[in-house]
Structure 1
Amino acid sequence: MTMNSIPINALQERYLQPHQARQRPPTTFEDLLGDSIERGFAAGHWELDALVEHLNKGGPLGPNGQPWTAESFQTLMKTLGE
Structure 2
Amino acid sequence: MNEIKQDIYLNPHQARRRPPTQYEDLLGDSIERAFGAGIHDLSELVAYLNRTGPGCPLNEGIWTETLYQEEIARLAA
* TM tier relative to shorter chain: 0.7 to 0.9
Which structure 2 residue ranges, 5 or more long, are not aligned? Answer: none
The range that moved more, 44-53 or 60-69, is 60-69
Q: Report the CA distance between 1:15 and its aligned residue.
A: 2.8
TM-score (norm 2): 0.85
TM-score (norm 1): 0.80
Instruction: State the distance in 1 between where 2:75 and 2:43 align.
Output: 20
Q: Does 2:75 correspond to 1:80?
A: yes
- Superposition misfits of 4+ residues, deviation over 3 angstroms: none
Question: Which protein is richer in helix relative to its size?
Answer: 1
Q: Does 2:56 correspond to 1:67?
A: no
Q: Does 2:47 correspond to 1:20?
A: no
The range that moved more, 20-29 or 61-70, is 61-70
Amino acid at match of 1:77: I
